[in-house]
Amino acid sequence: MNRSSKHTPFVSALLALTILLVWPLHAFSEMFSDEDLQNAVDKAYEAFKDVKEGANADYIPILATVPSELFGVVIATKDGKIFSAGDIDYRFSIQSVSKPFTAALIMAQQGPEAIREKIGVEPTGMPFNSKIALEMYEQRSVNPMVNAGAIAAVSLVQADSEEQRWNLVNENIEGFAGEKLSVLEEVYNSEYETAWSNRAIANLLYNYERLYADPEESLRVYTRQCSIGVNTKNLGIMGATLANAGVNPITGKRMLPAEHVPELLAIMASAGFYDESGEWMFNAGLPSKTGVGGGIVSVVPGQFAIAAFSPRLNGPGNSIRAMRAIRQIAGELGVGLYGPNPAN
């Protein structure tokens, strides 16, 4: 007692000095000038604009016709500033980048327990459309980032009709983007006409009582959700809303209670890249979501989102140039969640 009180003034002074010295460094390390952010975007765009590896998705026939050369890179900050390079206004289908946002809708409506209990939060380590994962794991849908879990999430939305289910899903995604969006009807038709694999998944889930609405209705609404047209800036703002603790920086609207943002980001970190999630977190260290349309969004919590778009994909279905650009920016700015990863 005596000993500790004797040392208290010294310890307090040391603490104050440490805070005085370290706090400005800490604060500075989290702040980037507009020039820093624009330079990082420009550098990543230049570094990867000529990469031609990979191929457009073609299991949804119309995606094969999207011009492969397109490439856009964006940083969107939590106060709504945009730094960009390349084809950032081109509208492409959001595809699986929509999945965390519908999971957010379920969390906001029904709490995170609904996700944990009725879908799951484990990574599968398997491809996004795996039927094997559905048979192997007792939870069936496993997590809301893979197709099974995302179709289950759509089925969980509390609605009295298909129209209402769609409106809730669509308005939620528009709320994250901060503007009206529209479905790319050609993409919807192309995907729905060939959706045999997802139809099998929806029916299997229904069979195992892990789908909470009519299978064909859930499939239709899920397919429409994936066909929403977005540009790279839209993806940036959607990510920036998560970086801003759930509040859209453009509209000021709260889209997700702040306490659920870390839970959603954790699912994105462990499963956002499917069977490549471990590799991605090892390399870039940022919670992210990819889509077969070529979009990727990554979140630097409390700071900004990095979004990129390029149609050519690798084997697991992730955009090669978008991955490289985001990974490069994360390294350049040293914003990996677990500490700065050096740039490529």
Binding site for ligand DON (CB under 6 A): 95-96, 128-129, 147, 191, 198, 226, 290-292, 317-318
For residue 311, give the nearest of 53, 42, 46 by alpha carbon: 53
- For residue 294, give the DSSP letter: S
* Smallest separation (angstroms) from ligand DON to the CB of 223: 7
Nearer of residues 129 and 328 to ligand DON, judged by Cβ: 129
Nearer of residues 124 and 198 to ligand DON, judged by Cβ: 198
* Smallest separation (angstroms) from ligand DON to the CB of 227: 8
Nearer of residues 32 and 188 to ligand DON, judged by Cβ: 188
- The two tokens of residue 213 are 């609405």
> How far apart (Å, rounded) are the C-alpha atoms in residues 185 and 228?
9
Find the radius of gyration of the CA atoms of the chain. Answer: 21
Nearer of residues 77 and 223 to ligand DON, judged by Cβ: 223
* Smallest separation (angstroms) from ligand DON to the CB of 63: 9
Question: Which residue has the closest beta carbon to ligand DON?
Answer: 96
Nearer of residues 275 and 332 to ligand DON, judged by Cβ: 275
* Smallest separation (angstroms) from ligand DON to the CB of 247: 26
Side chain identity, residue 229: G
* Smallest separation (angstroms) from ligand DON to the CB of 19: 44
> How far apart (Å, rounded) are the C-alpha atoms in residues 69 and 52?
8
Q: Hey, which residues does 300 pair with through a beta bridge?
A: 304
Side chain identity, residue 186: E
3-class DSSP assignment, residue 313: strand
Nearer of residues 129 and 218 to ligand DON, judged by Cβ: 129
- The two tokens of residue 78 are 């939590």
* Smallest separation (angstroms) from ligand DON to the CB of 203: 15
- Give per-residue burial for 142-155: e unless 16+ CB within 10 Å, then b: bbbbbbbbbbbbbb
